[in-house]
Amino acid sequence: MKYVLIGVLVVLVILFIINLVDLNRYVKRTVAIYDSKVKKKLKICFVSDLHNYSCTPKFYEDIKEYNPDVILCGGDSITANVGKNEENAYIFLKKLSEIAPTYTALGNHEYRAKIYPDVYGDMYPEFEKKMAEYGITILSNNAKLFEEENILVSAAEIDRRFYKKMKKIPMEDGYIESLLGPINKDKYNILLAHNPDYFKSYNAYGSDLIFSGHLHGGLIRIPFLHGIAHPGVRFFPHYSGGVYNDNGKPIAYADGYVSSKNDVIRLIVSCGIGFHTLAIRLFNPGELIFVTIDSK
C-alpha cells in the first residue's frame, strides 16, 4: 500500500509539472486550404480565448514571421469578471493590430458584458472604445468582404441561451440566416462562430470554413478522446479542439487540403491561449493557428 501511495504521489507531481508547463507555452498549427471560389491567396492568423492572459514577446514574433494578411480573433479576449483588470487583453489586441488588419468576433464573455451592463458596468463600452482606438473591427452579425480574394468573413453573435450550463439547447433551423441574411454562394464564406457546439447549424447555413473556440481544448486532452471538459459543465465534447471535416469528423492538421477531397476542412476549433476560473491545460498548450486559403 505504501508503494501504491508513493506511485500515486509521483504521478500527481508529474501531472502538476506538465500542467504548469502547458499553462505557459503554446504550439503553432498550420493548414492550407484550396478552393475554386478563391481568387487570390489570403493568409490568416487565427487566435481565440486569450482571457486576459499575458503572451510572451515570441508569440508576437511568430505572428510577424508568418506575415498574415489578416488576423481573426474568435472572441473571449477579455474575461467578464466584475472589477477584473483587462490590461493584458488590450495589450494583446493592440499588438495584433500593429502586425496586420485585425477583426474580432464576440465571445460569450464580451457578449455577456454587452447585454448585462447593470452587472459589468462600462466593461463592454470600454472594449468598443479600445477596438476603435486600435482600428480593430468588431464583427457581430455582420461581415467583411475581401474583394480581391473573393472571401467573405462573417461573425454570428448567437443568443445567450446557446451558452446554457448543463445542457445543449437546440438551435432552430434557419437561425444563422436570421442573423446574417442569405449566404452568398459566389463567395468563399468564412464564419466566425465562437461556440462550436452548433457546427451542424453553421454548416447547414452554407459556410465554407468555420472558426470556433470557447472550449479551451477541453482543459485536459487525452489521445483519441480529445478534450474531456466543456464550459457548459458537460464532458467529452465532440468539437473540443482541432480540425473537422464536412461531417464533423476530426482530422489531423496538415499543410494542404483540396476541397474536392473527402476530408475537406470545414471547421477549425482553437484550443485557445489562456484560461480562466480553473488553471488547467493538461496536455493542452495554447494554440496559434496559421491558415492559408488559396485558389486551386
CA–CA distance, 202 with 223 (Å, rounded to integer)? 27
Residue 159 contacts residue 176 (beta carbons within 8 Å) = no
Average pLDDT across the chain, whole number: 93
pLDDT at residue 73 is higher than 90 = yes
Q: Residue 1: what pLDDT?
A: 79
CA–CA distance, 105 with 202 (Å, rounded to integer)? 15
pLDDT at residue 294 is higher than 80 = yes
Closest among 43, 100, 104, 99 to 72, alpha carbons compared: 104
CA–CA distance, 79 with 48 (Å, rounded to integer)? 12
Domain that holds residue 275: 2-294
Closest among 217, 190, 220 to 203, alpha carbons compared: 190
Q: Residue 50: what pLDDT?
A: 98
Copy the grid coordinates of residue 120: 459589468
CATH number of the domain to which 101 belongs:
3.60.21
Note if the pTM is more than 0.85.
Answer: yes
pLDDT at residue 255 is higher than 70 = no
What value does the mean pLDDT take over residues 146-156? 98
Which DSSP category does 67 fall into?
A: -
What value does the mean pLDDT take over residues 120-126? 96
Strands, E, within 80-123: which ranges? 102-104
Q: Per-residue DSSP letters for 50-96?
A: -TT----HHHHHHHHHH--SEEEE-S-SS---TT---HHHHHHHHHH
CA–CA distance, 89 with 92 (Å, rounded to integer)? 5
260 band by pLDDT with thresholds 50, 70 and 90? very low
pLDDT, greater one: 62 or 265: 62
pLDDT at residue 261 is higher than 70 = no
Copy the grid coordinates of residue 283: 496536455
Tally of structural domains, the chain: 1
